[in-house]
Amino acid sequence: MLFKVYNQRKTLIYLFKIMKGMLSTMLCQFTFKNYRSYRDEAELSMQAMPMKEFERSLIECSDGQSFLPVAAVYGPNAGGKSNLLEALDYVRSAVARPIRLLSASADAPESDLPLIARCSAFEFDDVSAAEPTEFELYYRAGEHEYRYVLSVHADEIVSEGLWRRKLGASRTAMLFEREDTKVELGPTLRKLVTAARFNPSLPYLSFLCINFDAPVVQEAASWFLDAVFLNYNSSYLERMLEQMLDEGDSREVTRFLRAVDVRIDGFRVERAPEWRGQRVFVRHKVSGKAYELRLSEESAGTQKLMGLAAYLMTALERGGTVVVDELDAKLHPKLLRYVILLFKDPEVNKSGAQLIFSSQDVSTMRNDVFRRDEIWFAARGEGEASQLWSLADIHEANGNLVSKNAAFDKQYLSGRYGADPYLTRIEEWD
C-alpha cells in the first residue's frame, strides 16, 4: 500500500495530546462582492446546517452553535475557486501584514508604512469598476464573536468597522466605525485608545493592534494573525523549514511525515552566509544507515508535505484557519483524504481548527468524507461572473434536497450539481 494512512491515526492522536493549545480562533462566515471574477455577493458559511451527518466532527461552541471543520470548493478551471480563497486572504493579509511588518511603536515614519495589497474589482462591466469591493467576516476568538467589514476602492479604504458580542449574548457592541479618515470609537475602545495619528492607507484594526496593547484589540486581531493562506510554491519551503527548526518543531514535523509513510527520518538546515541563503537536507534511513538528500532532490509531493506539515499541526494544536489553494496538487488521493479527516477527527482536532481548500480531485467528494454543507461549488455564470453555492442547497428535479447517501462524485461529474460547464462541450468533440 502506497500510504499507510488509515492505521496511523493513533500516532497523530498521541502527538496532539502532548501539545498545549492557545487562544482559539474560528471563521464563521465570509461574504464579499465585486472582487475579481465575483461581481455579485457571494457567501461562504462555516456554520453547520441542521443535518445528521458527521455530527461528531462538528466544532461545538459554548453557546450551542456548531461549525464546520472543513470546507472544500470544487469547480471548473477559471470558475472562481482561487478567487474565492484569495478574497478571504486579501482581507486577512490587509489586517495582518502591517501588524507583522511594523513594531509596536506609534512613531514609525508614515512613509515607511506598508500599503495594503492591490484590490481588483470585477472586470467585465463598467459599473463594477466604479464601485468598491466589499468584505464582511464573522469570526470567533476566545469567548466573543466578531463582525469585521472592509470596503476598498482603487486600493484605498472607503470604510471599515468592527463589532463584537459575547457568546450566548444577544447584544452586539460597536468597537469602531470608519468612513474614509473619520473614526468613531465605541465605549470599550474610547476608554483605552488615546488620540493618535494613523495612516489612512492601512486598516484601523491594524493601527490599533500595532499601537495599543489592550486585550480586546489583541483578541480582535487574533483570527487575522492566526489564519494561514497557502498557494503551493516550492520556493518558500527552505525559508519556512529554517524557521521551523529554529522554533524546535522539527521533531513533531518528522513524526507527522513518518505517520504518512513518506520514509523521512528527519531534516536539518545548514546555514550559509546571508547572501547565499540556507540549505535544507532531508535524512533517510536505509538498512540501518543514514543518508541525506537536498530538499530540492525530493519528490514534489514530499516537498509539499513538508511545507504543509508545520501549518497543519500548528492549526490542529492551537486552532485557527488554514486556507489552501489546490490542496490536492501533488498529493496522492489517499493522503488527501487523510489530511481532510484529521480535521474531522475530534480526538486530533481538539482546538476547533478549520481547513478550507480548493480541489479538482473528485475522488474525495464522497459521503463518507464530507457532509453536504462542507462541499461548495464555484463556476462562472451570466456575464462571466462567478457564483458560489453549497451542495446542501441543491435540489433534485423532484424538489428534494440531494440525499446524504448520494454518490456525490458521480452526480457531480454527470452535471447534476452544475459547476462543470465544460464536460458537455468536450464530449461533443466526438
Query: Which fold is adopted by the domain 23-227+320-427?
Result: Rossmann fold (3.40.50)
pLDDT at 65: 97
Residue with cell 543514514: 290
Q: What is the pLDDT of residue 1?
A: 32
* 301, 302, 305, 309 alpha-carbon torsion, rounded to 10°: 180
| Spans in the chain with pLDDT lower than 70 | 1-23, 103-116, 195, 232-250, 252, 261, 272-278, 420-430
Q: What is the pLDDT at residue 288?
A: 86
Domain ranges of the chain: 23-227+320-427, 235-304
